[in-house]
């Protein structure tokens, strides 16, 4: 018995050593708990994560990344769109109906792109992780997008078409609609990136919608979505790729209008800022990100559940002598899950956590909160005295 135990221990030690030698955790033996957390997503993990959307037009990609930080509202918007009376709305009627919704502008801006919104709802864990990565490692996410675009351009699989214009400036690649008033959602297969450099983390493949056929091509386009940007009530998104920033352009700016030209009649573009009030109580993945927004987190949960926000208590008079300035130290970054390297299918199952990531399992919680929030808002008032749509595959 003793030699057998020693042999098993030696085998496990070899497995752990091999796993560490390639920079990835060894598969957990015999259903053991997942590996310890790491501080950051790796390059391989980030490229796997952004592969399905890296070749989207810049403004649409900005909406997706911003909205992914509000997964609860993504679910609510997808449920709202399941109502046939809402799905039939277009133009000003759609804008007016969305204006009444309490969602973040990034979520509202995705509703006209029904296939994109439903994909984010179908693969909710992927959406959560995309948003968590963008909050924690925005510059790294943007770099991952640029690397994938550069590979596709070098292979000739990403180029200007009648639907979109691809431009390279300072080695940064932008993708814009050829007609600013019509946005086409691209559909492509992972082969568009050529030989994938991370065998342990293959790019996610969500498949093509049934109404999109690309034949032998690697990329195709759905029906163009007409957007009259000057009256779009939520503005739109642009990128400062060199400076690693997402920019929000106010309503009445038009894509393609040179952002460097001042317009005194309009507010200037502003850097995008995550708003924890729209997080709806969904936990942040790591302690460092939570610490950045913790001051608003309790209020966000309280207001989401229907409680009125309470004013801050009055402070007693302070002495006139100014206090000495205090240095603030940034909150230490807490570790985050390391992706296990065991085998996984090319695409995650709908409504299941992608297996290359350690999911927090927030998907069911998010959907439950969305259902309760939606029913509470749509329920009729009590009398006095009384007590998903599947995504495209």
Structural contact between residues 81 and 89, judged by C-beta atoms closer than 8 angstroms: no
The interaxial angle of helices 43-50 and 124-136, nearest 10 deg, is 130
Structure tokens given for 216: 């032998």
Q: Which residues contact 126 (CB under 8 A, 6 or more apart)?
A: 49, 52, 120, 204, 348, 354
User: How far is Cα 114 from Cα 208, in angstroms, rounded to an integer?
Assistant: 14
Stretch among 172-176, 190-194, 379-383 having the lowest mean pLDDT: 379-383
Query: Alpha carbon of 252 to those of 18, 54, 258: distances in Å?
Result: 57, 26, 13
Got the DSSP string for 235-276? -EEEEETTTTEEEEEPTT--TTS-TTS--TTSPPPEE----G
The residue that leads in pLDDT, 284 or 215, is 284
SS3 186: strand
Structural contact between residues 99 and 233, judged by C-beta atoms closer than 8 angstroms: yes
User: How far is Cα 236 from Cα 203, in angstroms, rounded to an integer?
Assistant: 28
Q: What are phi and psi of 246, to 5 degrees?
A: -95, 130
The residue that leads in pLDDT, 335 or 284, is 284
Q: Which residues contact 348 (CB under 8 A, 6 or more apart)?
A: 123, 125, 126, 204, 354, 355
- 84-97 mean pLDDT: 89
Q: Quick count: other Cβ atoms within 10 Å of Cβ 345? A: 11
Which pLDDT belongs to residue 300? Answer: 44
**What pLDDT band is residue 391 in, cutting at 50, 70 and 90?**
very low
DSSP E strand boundaries for 212-370: 219-221, 225-226, 236-240, 245-249, 270-271, 336-337
Domain positions in the chain are: 35-261+269-291+336-368
Which pLDDT belongs to residue 40? Answer: 86
User: How far is Cα 58 from Cα 145, in angstroms, rounded to an integer?
Assistant: 11
The residue that leads in pLDDT, 1 or 8, is 1
Which pLDDT belongs to residue 260? Answer: 47
Which pLDDT belongs to residue 358? Answer: 42
Provide the whole-model pTM. 0.69
User: How far is Cα 371 from Cα 197, in angstroms, rounded to an integer?
Assistant: 40
Which pLDDT belongs to residue 244? Answer: 95
Q: Is the model's pLDDT at 200 over the cut of 50?
A: yes
């Amino acid at each position: 018995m003793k030699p057998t135990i020693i042999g098993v221990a030696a085998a496990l030690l070899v497995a752990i050593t091999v796993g560490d030698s390639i920079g990835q955790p060894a598969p957990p033996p015999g259903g053991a708990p997942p590996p310890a957390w790491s501080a950051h997503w790796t390059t391989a993990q980030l490229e796997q994560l952004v592969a399905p959307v890296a070749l989207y037009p810049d403004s649409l990609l900005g909406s997706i990344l911003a909205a992914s930080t509000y997964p609860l509202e993504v679910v609510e918007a997808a449920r709202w769109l399941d109502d046939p009376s809402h799905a039939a709305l277009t133009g000003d009627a759609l804008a007016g109906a969305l204006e009444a919704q309490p969602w973040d502008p990034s979520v509202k801006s995705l509703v006209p792109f029904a296939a994109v919104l439903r994909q984010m709802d179908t693969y909710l864990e992927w959406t959560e992780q995309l948003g968590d990565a963008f909050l924690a490692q925005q510059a790294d996410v943007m770099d991952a997008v640029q690397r994938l675009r550069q590979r596709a351009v070098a292979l000739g699989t990403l180029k200007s078409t009648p639907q979109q214009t691809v431009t390279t400036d300072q080695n940064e690649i932008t993708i814009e609609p050829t007609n600013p008033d019509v946005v086409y959602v691209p559909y492509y297969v992972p082969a568009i990136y050529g030989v994938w450099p991370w065998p342990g983390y293959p790019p996610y493949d969500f498949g093509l919608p049934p109404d999109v056929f690309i034949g032998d091509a690697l990329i195709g386009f759905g029906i163009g979505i007409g957007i009259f940007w000057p009256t779009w009530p939520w503005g739109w998104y642009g990128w400062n790729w060199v400076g690693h920033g997402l920019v929000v352009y106010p309503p009445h700016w038009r894509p393609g209008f040179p952002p460097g030209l001042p317009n005194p009649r309009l507010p200037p573009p502003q850097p995008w800022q995550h708003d924890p009030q729209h997080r709806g109580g969904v936990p942040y993945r790591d302690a460092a990100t939570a610490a950045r927004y913790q001051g608003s987190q309790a209020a966000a949960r309280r207001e989401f559940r229907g409680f009125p926000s309470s004013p801050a208590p009055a402070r007693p008079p302070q002495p006139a002598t100014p206090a000495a300035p205090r240095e603030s130290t940034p909150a230490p970054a807490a570790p985050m899950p390391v992706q296990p390297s065991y085998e996984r299918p090319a695409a995650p199952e709908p409504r299941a956590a992608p297996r290359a990531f350690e999911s927090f399992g927030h998907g069911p919680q998010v959907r439950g909160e969305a259902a309760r929030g939606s029913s509470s808002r749509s329920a009729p008032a009590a009398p006095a005295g009384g007590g998903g749509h599947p995504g495209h595959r």
